[in-house]
Amino acid sequence: MSDKGQAPKSRGKVTIFDVARESGVSYSTVSRVLNGFKYVKESTRQKVLEAAERLGYVANLQARSLAGGRSHIIGVLVPNLDNGYIGEIIRGIDEALRDNGYDLMLYTTHHQEGKESRYVQAIANGLTDGLILIVSLIPTAYLDALHKQRFPYVLIGQNDVEEASSIVDATNEKGAYEATRYLIELGHRRIGHITGLMGKSSAVSRLTGYKAALEAAGMAFDPQLVVKGNFWEQSGYTGTQTLLALPQPPTAIFTSNDLMAFGAYEAIRANGLDIPQDISIVGFDDIPQASLVHPKLTTVHQPLEQMGRAAVHILLEHIEKDSPPRRVTLATRLVIRDSCQPAAST
C-alpha cells in the first residue's frame, strides 16, 4: 500500500491536479486528455488515463462548466408529475439522455406563473447545457429570453409558437379526426367532445380534427355537443354530466385526453349507464392506465416516449453542432380497445 504523493484532498476528492502529479504531466494536459483533445501523444494519454483510473478521478461538473465547458446536464421543465402523460415523456427523455452521457435536472413548475420564467432564467444561467420544455401554456415570455441568449431548447407538444423554436409534436388534428371518424363509422350521429385547455395548441388541434371529421361525413356541427374541459379528470366528469343532461344526449364522446375519459367513465356510471353499451368513449394520449381501466379505453396513441427521445436528439444537435431549429411531428394512431361499440338504433 504505497501512497504516492500525498493523500488526495480532504473529502476524498481527487482533482485533475492530483491526476497530473500522479502521471507526471501538467495540469492542462490532463484536461486535454479528459476532453478528448486531439493532439496528445498516445503514451501520455495512456499515462493520464491510467493515473485517473487508479486515483478514481471523477470530474467536477461545476468547475467544468464554470470554466466554460459543458455541464452535460439538461434541464427538463414540466408543469407537474400527476398525469401519466408527462411521466412517459420523461422516460423517453431520460433514456435518450443516458445513452448520450447527459444527466437530467427536473424542474416542476406546478403551473405557477412566475415560477416558470424564474426557472428558465436560472436554468439558462449556467447549470444546464440545454432545456426541454413541456409547458402548460404558451411561454412566449421566456421563450423570447431563451432565444435572445441563443440558449438551446426544445418544446414538446406546443406547436403554435411563432418563433423559430424547435418543436416536437404529434399529429393532433389527424388523430382527433380519425377518432371521430371511427365513431361515425360505428354509426354514431351525435358525438360529444370535451375539449382540453384551449390555451394549448393540442386542445385546439383536436377540436379542429373533430369538426373536420364531422364535416367530412356531412354531419352538422352542434355547438351544444362541445363542452370545455381542461385536461383534468374532474372536467371530464362534469363535462360528461353536462352532455348527458342534454335533451338529446350524445351516444358517443370523444375526450381531448385520457384523463378526461376516465372522468367520463365515472360520470356515465354515476348516471347508471354502461360503457360501451349506452355510450362509447374515445380518449387521446394512450397513457399506461388506458389499458388498465375497465373497459379498456379506445384512444389515440401518442408516441410519448418517442417524443421525449426526439426532443433529446434535436437538443443535442443544437448543443453540439449548433444546428438550426427543427420541427418534428410524430404520428398518432388510433388504438381500438373496448370502450366503443356501434350505435344502438338507426
Partner DNA sequence: GTGAAAGCGCTAACAC
Partner DNA sequence: GTGTTAGCGCTTTCAC
The Cα 65–Cα 128 span in angstroms is: 9
Which residues 57-116 are close enough to bind DNA by CB under 7 A?
57, 59-60, 63-64, 66-69
First and final C-alpha spacing in the chain: 88
Choices 27-35, 95-103, 231-239, 246-254; region in contact with DNA by CB under 7 A: 27-35
What count of other Cβ atoms lies within 10 Å of the Cβ of residue 37? 12
The listed partner (a copy of itself, DNA, none) that binds 289, CB under 5 to 8 Å by sort, is: a copy of itself
Nearest residue to 212 (alpha-carbon basis) of 243, 240, 179, 256: 179
Q: What is the dihedral of CA 163, 168, 174, 178, to 10 degrees?
A: -150
- Decide whether 62 or 80 has the Cβ nearer to DNA: 62
* Residue 41 found at the interface with DNA (CB under 7 A): yes
Cβ 105 to DNA shortest distance, Å: 18
- Decide whether 9 or 98 has the Cβ nearer to DNA: 9
- Beta bridge mates, 77: 107, 133
- Decide whether 59 or 137 has the Cβ nearer to DNA: 59
* Residue 16 found at the interface with DNA (CB under 7 A): yes
Site size toward DNA, by CB under 7 A: 31
Which residues bind to a copy of itself, rule: CB under 8 A?
11-13, 56, 58-63, 65-66, 71, 73, 81-82, 87, 90-91, 94, 98, 103-108, 110, 118, 121-122, 125-127, 145, 148-151, 262, 288-289, 292-295
- Beta bridge mates, 283: 299
- Among the listed residues 21, 22, 25, 203, the single contact to DNA using CB under 7 A: 25
- Decide whether 248 or 291 has the Cβ nearer to a copy of itself: 291
Which residues 116-135 are close enough to bind DNA by CB under 7 A?
126
- Chain mean position to CA 4: 50
- Chain mean position to CA 228: 23
Nearest residue to 14 (alpha-carbon basis) of 5, 33, 35, 127: 5
Cβ contact 161:140 at 8 Å: yes
The listed partner (a copy of itself, DNA, none) that binds 17, CB under 5 to 8 Å by sort, is: DNA
The listed partner (a copy of itself, DNA, none) that binds 94, CB under 5 to 8 Å by sort, is: a copy of itself
- Residue 208 class from Cβ within 10 Å (0-12 exposed, 13-18 middle, 19+ buried)? middle
The Cα 135–Cα 338 span in angstroms is: 32
- Decide whether 146 or 184 has the Cβ nearer to DNA: 146
* Residue 295 found at the interface with DNA (CB under 7 A): no
- Among the listed residues 29, 109, 136, 299, the single contact to DNA using CB under 7 A: 29
> Which CA distances in Å does 256 have to 165, 195, 342?
25, 5, 21
Kindly list the residues in this chain that would bind DNA in the complex (CB under 7 A). 2, 9, 13, 15-17, 25-29, 31-32, 34-35, 39-41, 43-45, 57, 59-60, 63-64, 66-69, 126
